[in-house]
Amino acid sequence: MNTYFIYSIIGLILGTTGCSAADLPPYRLDGKVEPRHYDLVINTGLETDEFKFWGSALIEIACIEETDRIAVHSHNLVIDESHVTLTQALNPENLKKFNIASHSYDKENEYYIAQTDSKLQAGQNYSLFIPFSGVMPDDLAGFYRSSYTDSKTNETKWLGVTQFESTDARKAFPCFDEPKMKATFTITIGHPEKYTSLSNMPLEETIPMPNKPGWVQDKFQKSVPMSTYLVAWMVSDFTHKEATMTEGGVTFRVWAREEAVNQTDFANQFGPKVLSYYEEYFDTKYPLPKQDMAAIPDFSAGAMENWGLITYREVLLLFDPKASSSLNQERIASVIAHELAHQWFGNLVTMEWWTDLWLNEGFATYVATIGLHHLFPEWNSLQHDTVNNLNTVFALDALKSSHPVSVPIGNPKEIAQIFDTISYRKGSCIIRMMNQFLGEDVFRAGVTLYLSKHKFGNARQDDLWAALTEIAHERGVLDPDVTVKMIMDTWTVQTGYPVLSVVRNYETGDISVSQRRYLGIEPSAEERSLQEACWRVPLSYTYQEIADFSETKPEKWLTCEGPLNISTFGASEDQWIIFNIQVSGLYRINYDLKNWNLLAGALNDESSFKKIHPLNRMQLIADAMDLAWMGDLEYKTAFSVCRYLSHETEYVPWSSAASALGQIDTMLRRTANYGYFKNYIRELVSSAFKRSGPLTETPKGFEAIKMKNLVTGLADKYEIGDFKDQALQLFKKWYNHKNSDTVNPIPKDIRGRIYCTAIKNGGDEEWAFLWARYLKSNLATEKSTILSALGCSRKVWLLNRYLEWSIDKTSGIRSQDAASVFSSVAYNEVGFSLAKEFFAQRVADIFAYHGAKNSRMGSYVKVLANQMISRAEYDEMKELTQKHEEYLKFSGLSVKQALESIDINARWHSKHYAAIPDYLSPSL
């Protein structure tokens, strides 16, 4: 039975494909009643009321199936049962009131249940009124509190803001908290008049609040139909610069604390432009009259696409052109483009259930790249993002413990674990692949049709496949007997990706192409059955004489029917061939050894290597190194391919090489053979470092800036040239400057490298100096850079204190950054063992510190596991995770993947470690 058919069956069992109420598990709403509209009132005085909030939800519901039980989601709310009412309007002047026989709570599934003494009738509408109250937590979930310090008065300022995805709306108001339960909302926010409130829709009116002098209530316009996880509001003293208007007349504002509002200019300029571009790209108007974006001091995610009120971490929205790096700017633009893409893909059309989360995240990730390329073509985002996504996906999806893109989700407690590389980056990769084989025009037309058919509603991936198939058949792109679903199901509902074996017959010119699943290490006998999966693979190719890398549409398709023979290829026996033009498909390729040698020869020829497209040069490095890791290619061949980097000048291949070689670095860093590897890297990087020029020299062009950043990072790590001396001189110049709080002579694009080098080679004074700059900085991008650099110290006591501070709310490190601080220490050669011990001893405290976001525990385990290389370390981590299973219960998938990673590392070590000196011999 095919893997993807099995997953379809699982989906049916879990109720993810439209089951009846009787079939649904207890953690799913039974669907007998559905919401149509909410009149929602929320009141809060923030700190004046000890962070309490109170209000009411008047929910207009439609009865779909006769019932005497109404269950709505509610978590950590106090419901005033005595004032809960259920009525039916028989006519405008006659309300029928239903008696609620009992109130009960299902704490496990987070329901409040009202049992009526008479049945609600199918086809009739009712009104359910629920008064409630709660307390705003500081765990970054639900309606929570955040704060910042006003530097002028040293006063703590408070704000209240929402974060509901995936199932935290129920912490703020009683609701039908599933994505399919769309409704319209009229939201009213009561607060002291010194604050401003925002919500999804524009403000309609502000009136004095009865019996609360100095308070007002802001009533917002009625919303379009939306899912509860997209509802949003904020109460704060934030401000904004003058609003801008998009070409379509949408009012656009960017909100921040007053001291940071001067950092909103880039977002205020870029946001409206990309919103307008998406209206053109999707051929669908943005349906709201306004779009607010807000920079939140404490925020768990990177950003959240709430309709009309997108919320961000400060570091991903605020930009200072004088101090923020070009990489910061690119990241901010990418996140803004991602969130605005969601306004169509996710908000306008929403997944029916979390199984299709990837439709939201994968599509937004891909379209963000298109938006960036449209507005900043000089950034080369289409290539850069392709490399970043592919390298990340290839690593994670090679694990047996990976998961399908479209993963069956049962209990909502499982949802947090799939907000990961597979949903975002693999989703983006396969959508890009689909764009390539359908063509841009067909792809866009199919997406527009999909949005038109399901506007303001819900959909599944099959609905997207149907729309794309319809257009593809109309325009003759796919054969009538082939559908997009037939192709894409092989990519979305089974785990992993293929490696193609391309074997040439040099006498006849024929080529045989076959496939199997790629696994992270040479499989054992019992693992080989996993490789029997198959995909419908689009094949594009070229050869040395033609070297045409412009056509990415497939010339052939490899199916599940067995190997494909290509008999009219045309390449002579002394010419290389390359498959997968511009890496348009998500797969690896292993050639026969002669072709690999031809490719290595071409790459190492300075006069001819650029005939191969940069993306394919990147692919050759990545494939060679990973195939050698797996055991399917000799390392001598792989390292021979990489040796050409000494004359490579473009960022894309270098980025791939840094990732692939970094994996070997991890394997050797704590071993006696590390010196051989360091010398090899120095040979590769020295020329590139010389070409990059002095550290004080800023290159022209975004590509050159990224290249310099990458090369200086390698120069720092492998002690190449005079990088260290230059870096320490620059830091000393800053350290000794009389106005060091306001003047920083270090070039902004390489500050992270310089800071790390100075902290690594410095002592207590340098660390204290940089920490003071962190505390005083008003710029989130700079604070983030400093936090990473502080983990570079080699002083054990400083690193131990830094780890302690990471989970101390009074230290100055925000809870959102705790895991990042841990990671910065753990990836330090000195800090690894300290971080491991810290996690083992303080796991309960770390779990408690993260509160509602305790699924983050898995990231701690992964950071440690990524650097473990022996069977003894595998046993150590397995024992640790079993011992603390209680604290890792929401991170089961991450723990499983972490243990598998260590197992793979240990197997690699036993097979390859001893031969490293031979692999890296200069005579190769």
Instruction: Enumerate the known binding-site residues for Zn(2+).
Output: 338, 342, 361
Type and span of the H or E element at 149: strand 142-150
d(CA 331, CA 781): 10
In angstroms, the CA 720 to CA 699 distance is 19
Cis peptide before 133 (omega within 30 of 0): no
Nearest of 516, 502, 640, 641 to residue 571 by alpha carbon: 502
Lookup result for tokens 């413990």: 401
How many C-beta neighbours within 10 Å does residue 99 have? 10
- Among the options 165, 305, 330, 339, which is catalytic? 339
| C-alpha span between 288 and 251 (Å, rounded) | 9
CA end-to-end distance (rounded Å), the chain? 47
Distance CA 796, CA 840 (A): 17
Asked about 47 being catalytic, the answer comes back as no
Q: At what angle do helices 796-806 and 818-826 cross, to 10 degrees?
A: 160
Distance of alpha carbon 372 from alpha carbon 541, whole angstroms: 28
Taking Cα atoms as reference points, which of 405, 572, 410 lies closest to residue 488? 405
* CB count in 10 Å sphere of residue 92: 6
Phi then psi dihedrals of residue 799, to 5 deg: -65, -40
d(CA 784, CA 402): 30
3-state secondary structure 732-789: HHHHCCCCCCCCCCCCHHHHHHHHHHHHHHCCHHHHHHHHHHHHHCCCHHHHHHHHHH
Q: In angstroms, rounded to a whole number, what is the distance separating the alpha carbons of residues 810 and 805?
A: 8
315: burial class by Cβ within 10 Å (0-12, 13-18, 19+)?
Answer: buried
User: How far apart, in whole angstroms, are the C-alpha atoms of residue 440 and residue 431?
Assistant: 11
* 102: three-class secondary structure by DSSP: strand
SS3 (DSSP) at 63: strand
DSSP 853: G
Per the CB < 8 A criterion, the answer to whether 301 and 164 are in contact is no
CB 276 within 8 A of CB 247: yes
Provide the CA 659 distance to its chain's centre, in angstroms. 18
| Three-state secondary structure string covering 546-578 | CCCCCCCCCCEEECCCCCEEECCCCCCCCCCEE
Beta bridge partner(s), residue 233: 199
- Tokens linked to 239: 């401000």
DSSP one-letter string for 161-208: EEE-TTTTGGGTS-B--STT--BEEEEEEEEETTSEEEESS-EEEEEE
- What is the spatial distance between Cα 727 and Cα 730, in angstroms, rounded to a whole number? 5
Name the E strands within 367-428.
Answer: none
Burial class (CB in 10 A: 0-12, 13-18, 19+), 118: exposed
Place of tokens 């059309």: 349
655 in Cβ contact with 614 (< 8 Å):
no
Q: Please answer whether residues 143 and 47 qualify as being in contact, where contact means their C-beta atoms are separated by less than 8 angstroms.
A: no
Contact 637, 621 (CB under 8 A): no
Continuous segment of H or E residues that includes residue 488: helix 484-492
Q: Report residue 468: phi and psi, to 5°.
A: -65, -40
Catalytic residues: 339
